[in-house]
Amino acid sequence: MRQFKPSQPLLYILVLFTGLGLVQAFIQQLWPNVLPWLAQLLLAGLLIIGLLALADLILSTQAPSLTITRQLPHNLALSNSVQVAVQVHHQLPLRQQIELYDHAPNQFNVKGLPLALELQPGKFSIGHYEVTPHQRGPALFTQVEVRVRSQLGLWAMQFIYPVTTEVKVYPNFATVTGYNLLANSHHTSQLGIRKQQRRGEGMDFHQLREYRPGDPLRQVDWKATARRMSLISKEYQDERDQQILILLDSGKRMRIQDGQLTHFDHALNSLLLLALVALKQGDVVGMMSFGQNNRWVPGIKGTGNINMLLNNFYDLYPDVQPTDYIAAAEDLMTRQRKRALVVLVTNLRDEDTEDLIAAIKLLRRKHLVLLVNLQETAIQQVSHQPISDFPAALRYLGAFQYLTERNATVDKLVAEGALILDCTPQEMMARLVNRYLDIKRSGRL
């Protein structure tokens, strides 16, 4: 595909001849016998320029022989900027300046285009620009646009080169990568995750070791003590192979924007970290979304399988339909037979209370339920702002009434025996992981 338009020099020439023509016509009206040859001269000049422009266009319609490649990671994280490298190979005998514009998908913010490149004989050129994905899911780069001047510089030529690159935009896994690094160096507190040291109070036997001052007597293995003639203690670890089931609301409640991300995106980022922590603990993790688009990943084990969750949910978006909590609970009860910690993530409203209570009652027949209720940061901020005028008072009153109803709903759910984590999306990541670890240590599951 090629397009062309007059270059600035050609436009300047045309404007100059147009101006001279107007001047000649004005003079001819006032003094018919003055400069009678100027009109013929202008006409001849225009004819020459026209012929040169036509010849230049004909000689320049052939697209330059360029081979263009694009390099960027195939797996990207939402809201994380990456650099794209565009490399141009050519066989041009002369040096040439080009302007290059890469057609990035609409779900990317682009910085640094167009690229101004100088193509030199016998060499290849490379340029860089930056993209930031603002929407999850598959994305396709399809073409690169190259703009060059014609051989005489009278036309601006535009050529399209097909260059296809497929990428996937995942939830922001930077935190997960950070957790892996910090976990290996035992600095997970930097993410707000508490790691409590205990002395053999878990559920599963781990090993025998020498007695330490402060060990309870019930941990002493008297048979091993008699054999070795020194006090030996039993050491336990948290029970492994427990079932963790994530139940994620993909209805209209989760479309609420909070900062740069929706509640749904915040939840995905946090649940991804929770899944990795649980897998590192030796637990089995499954995940199900409920709403218009139901997706199900049965229990997986081992951190190497975290990609199964990523690939199944990275392109899922909340729909505009209301959430059916009871249907989701019934579906989960048929899928998950073994007792599990069910982490249900939603943004509830007062009108959802009865359905949600019924769903939690159904789930609690077999499972331990942790309800994660996402607060809206904007409403929290309004409730803490000073009241300076009447509109501010109305906003405060509305926020106060909303929060009062919300707290009453949370109290009803607590009374039904559900575990509740009521937090903002920004707080969710660390608080959810800590709550899971607390539940695991307590032996309630």
Q: Write the pLDDT tens digit of every residue in 133-150.
A: 988 889 999 999 888 776
* Domain shared by 178 and 285, yes or no: no
* 28 band by pLDDT with thresholds 50, 70 and 90: low
Domain termination site, one of 15, 40, 60: 60
Is residue 98 located within the same domain as residue 136? yes
Q: Kindly state whether residues 70 and 198 are assigned to the same domain.
A: no
| pLDDT one-digit tens code per residue, 186-197 | 444 544 555 554
Q: What tens digit of pLDDT does each residue of 155-165 get?
A: 667 888 899 99
Claim to verify: residue 430 and residue 369 sit in the same structural domain: yes
Final residue belonging to a domain, choices 206, 237, 268:
237
Which stretches within 281-365 are classed as H helix? Answer: 306-313, 325-335, 353-364
Percent of the chain with pLDDT over 90: 21
Task: Clarify whether residues 39 and 12 are in a common domain.
Answer: yes
323 and 195 share one domain: no
Taking phi first (over 0 means left), then psi (-120 to 50 degrees means alpha), and beta for anything else, what does residue 214 get? left
Q: How confident is the model at residue 200 (pLDDT cuts 50, 70, 90)?
A: very low
Residues 429 and 351 in one domain: yes
- Domain of residue 7, residue span: 2-60
Number of domains within the chain: 4
Q: 317 and 340 share a domain?
A: yes
116 and 40 in a single domain? The answer is: no
- Phi, psi for 204 (deg, rounded to 5): -105, 140
| 161 plus 289 within the same structural domain | no
Q: What is the rounded distance in angstroms from the CA atom of residue 161 to the CA atom of residue 102? A: 10
CA 229/CA 45 separation, integer angstroms: 114
* pLDDT band at residue 198 using 50, 70 and 90 as cut-offs: very low
- Asked if the model's pLDDT at residue 33 lies above 90, the reply is no
148 and 81 part of one domain: yes
Q: Give the whole-angstrom CA distance, residue 45 versus residue 152.
A: 17
- Shared domain check, 288 and 258: yes
Phi-psi region of 42 (alpha: psi -120 to 50; beta: other; left: phi over 0): alpha
